[in-house]
Amino acid sequence: MMKTYGILNCNTVKKALDWLKAHHIEYEFNDFKKLGVSSEKLQEWDERAGYEKFLNKQGLTWKQLDPQVKESIRTSNDALKLLQQKTSMIKRPVIEDGDFLFFGFDEEVYKKHFNV
């Protein structure tokens, strides 16, 4: 079954889940706030997509970080450690459906992948 990761009070996650429900697409949801995300899962995403795809530098959590912390992110290990501590900096939702891995909500990408 497809897995979806995110934070339930995030507007983008709400839009994506509403879209999936409206199109009768089943999914298993993992709430970062309640369940966290394993270092192994972050490593897998990094290997498949590169951490730059899912480190959300547009969000409030990143913007509120101390400039020294931001500057210290030089390698994927640095980024993944930070993302595990501050899961709200992961671009969301994360959709895993077989070989399909997507960060965020883009209706056109969803339509194409789910043949809607």
Identified catalytic residue from 6, 10, 79, 94: 10
Q: 86 an active-site residue? A: no
The Cα diameter of the chain in Å comes to 45
- Predicted confidence (pLDDT) per residue in 28-74, tens digit: 999 998 999 999 999 999 999 999 999 999 999 999 999 999 999 99
pTM above 0.85, yes or no: yes
Q: Residue 99 sits in which domain range?
A: 3-114
- Predicted confidence (pLDDT) per residue in 17-27, tens digit: 999 999 999 99
Domain with residue 58: its CATH number is 3.40.30.10
**Shortest CA distance to 48 belongs to which of 93, 86, 2, 102?**
102
Band of pLDDT at residue 10, cut at 50, 70 and 90: very high
Domain count, the chain: 1
Q: What are phi and psi of 26, to 5 degrees?
A: -80, 145
